[in-house]
Amino acid sequence: MATASLPAGCWPYTSPDAPHPLRHTAAECRRSRMIDLAHLRKDPAFFSKAWGDRGASVDVDGLLALDALVRELKTASESLKAEVNQASKSIAQAARSGGGAGAVDAAKERARQLGDQAKATDERRVALEQTLTDRLLLLPNPCHPAVPLGADSAANRVVDTWGQAPTFAFTPKAHYDLGPALGIIDFDRAAKLSGSGFVALRGAGARLSRALISWFLDVHTGTHGYVELAVPYLVQSKMMVGTGQLPKFADQFYACRDDDLVLIPTAEVPVTNLHAGEILEAEQLPVRYTAHTPCFRREAGAAGVGTRGMTRVHQFDKVEIVWLTTPERSDADLLSLRGHAETLLRQLGLHYRVLELCSGDTGFSSAHTYDLEVWSPGTSSWLEVSSCSTFGDFQARRAGLRYRAEKGGKPAFLHTLNGSALALPRCLIALLETYQLADGSVAIPAVLQPYLGGLARIGSCA
């Protein structure tokens, strides 16, 4: 890992005594991680193509050679260990039956030598296996066969569009003009507190944000049947390995200086990892959770491009929905999950479209992603308010999420899915811009009014 180039305070954090999140413990190595190595051995061409479709060039032969060497050393050290164990048993017997001290000492010496050999062999194996693991953890999830091929966002496919762009008898304003004028969004004072890329909400703006969070959660728990969670916003960095943010995207989130804790970039991290290392029973599935959390993102390298206002901020609120499900139904579940996110936009009366991301634009951990983009009348652009993905067994492997298909059966990796439903700032943007009136006030959609004490219109609250 090249750590020198990372900004201070960023993962890996600076405490010298801390465990390195990528130095897996023996217990963690015992679990299968990352991609399915057995599958890679059997069908390297599949992976070559899959990674190629994503624009990643991978030395598959090198991986296979390394894997073969690791297994060779493993076999060797294990048979040496077996000999040591045999020898130890006969020493015990000899000692018990009062055999000659000389014979026992000779046997001990032989066992010691075998033990040293086994240890040396195994140390080599551990080092090579760690190298292999480090490389495998950087490889993206192969895309689902349904994903359209393409190099970048230009190849994404618009699969649905709902509603129509609102029309105005006046020139609609952007949220970064509307909000401050109404006294409900304060960029300047947020920058004073935390620098650029932060936003403060005030009065009806703050309450509108809270109303959206409450309403989203109520719809998911009440209508869609999710279980609500309230989870930690700081997690150990190995959880970020579980969901795939680490090791590759270490520069994209905030870390603590003295503790192995990072601020979550999305609720996906704590919620998906909630059952990490567990074996669930088939009848428990699908597990469906929803959670509201703030999300913290450094957005390194994103400054300046279409980031005016609060379309891209370092801290924002989001309601997330997460499924742990079976491989048989995960494809269908992705559509259900996407539907749950879409429902919210429809009930808010916001014009939006659905994108099916192409192979080159699909996120590192995802196998298949739909983005929901809401229309921003003030800037005449589409804003991503949700990303709905199935990860196949990719995260399940990394996080150790398994289930038992039938009683007494072998545990197998389950499938994980998640989606934003929805991300707050861009919903606020779309609401303010879509429902703005000629006098600069903003109407409130009917579904939200009960959450705002009956407020139907936000006027100036300067």
Q: Which of 335, 315, 317 is nearest to 325 (CA)?
A: 335
* Site membership for RNA, residue 108 (CB under 7 A): yes
Q: Which of 237, 330, 386, 387 is catalytic?
A: 387
**37, 39, 38, 49: which is closest to 133 by C-alpha?**
37
Least CB distance to RNA at residue 74 (A) = 5
Q: Per CB under 7 A, which region of 72-80, 179-187, 211-219, 371-379 contacts RNA?
A: 72-80
Spatial contact of 365 and 141, defined as CB atoms under 8 Å apart: yes
Nearest approach, Cβ of residue 259 and RNA (Å): 9
Question: Restricting to residues 174-193, which ones interact with RNA according to CB under 7 A?
Answer: none
**Cβ nearer to RNA, comparing 287 with 428:** 287
Distance CA 425, CA 428 (A): 5
Listed ranges 69-77, 179-187, 200-208, 267-275: which one lies at the site for RNA (CB under 7 A): 69-77
Strands 368-376 and 352-356: antiparallel
Amino acid at residue number 224: H
Interface residue with RNA among 3, 9, 20, 38 (CB under 7 A) is 38
Q: CA-to-CA distance for 426 and 383, rounded, in angstroms?
A: 7
| 426 classed as catalytic | yes
Which long-range contacts (C-beta less than 8 Å, at least 24 apart) are formed by 162-166?
A: 162/342, 162/345, 162/346, 162/351, 162/352, 162/353, 162/354, 163/346, 163/349, 163/350, 163/351, 163/352, 163/375, 164/351, 165/351, 165/375, 165/377, 166/351, 166/375, 166/377, 166/434
Q: What is the token pair recorded at 114?
A: 């075998």
Minimum CB distance to RNA, residue 289 (Å) = 21
- Any contact of residue 37 with RNA (CB under 7 A)? yes
49 binds RNA (CB under 7 A): no
Whether 163 and 70 have beta carbons less than 8 Å apart is answered as no
Nearer to RNA, 176 or 413 (CB): 413
Concerning whether 387 is annotated as a catalytic residue, the answer is yes
Give yes or no for residue 35 binding RNA (CB under 7 A).
no
Rounded to whole angstroms, the Cα distance separating 240 from 254 reads 12
Count residues binding RNA (CB under 7 A): 34
CA distance 180 to 432: 12
Which one of 10, 35, 87, 201 is in contact with RNA (CB under 7 A)? 87
Interface region with RNA, contact rule CB under 7 A, candidates 67-75, 264-272, 329-337, 385-393: 67-75
Closest distance of CB 121 from RNA, Å: 11
Residue 312 a catalytic site member: yes
Interaction of residue 78 with RNA, rule CB under 7 A: yes
- Binding string, 355-394, against RNA, x = CB under 7 A? ----------------------------------------
Binding mask 285-324 toward RNA (x if CB under 7 A, else -) reads ----------------------------------------
In angstroms, give the least distance from the CB of 163 to RNA: 43
CB atoms within 10 A of CB 44: 15
The minimum distance between CB 290 and RNA, in angstroms, equals 23
Q: Which residues contact 405 (CB under 8 A, 6 or more apart)?
A: 282, 326, 412
Q: Residues 375, 377, 383, 388: what is their CA dihedral angle, to the nearest 10 degrees?
A: -20
**β-strands 185-186, 200-201: how paired?**
antiparallel
82 binds RNA (CB under 7 A): yes
Q: How far apart are CA 237 and CA 243, in angstroms?
A: 10
Which residues in this chain contact RNA in the complex, by CB under 7 A?
25-27, 30-32, 37-38, 71, 74-75, 78-79, 81-82, 84-89, 91-92, 95, 108, 111-112, 115, 279, 402, 407-408, 410-411
Q: List residues with catalytic annotation.
A: 297, 312, 384, 387, 426
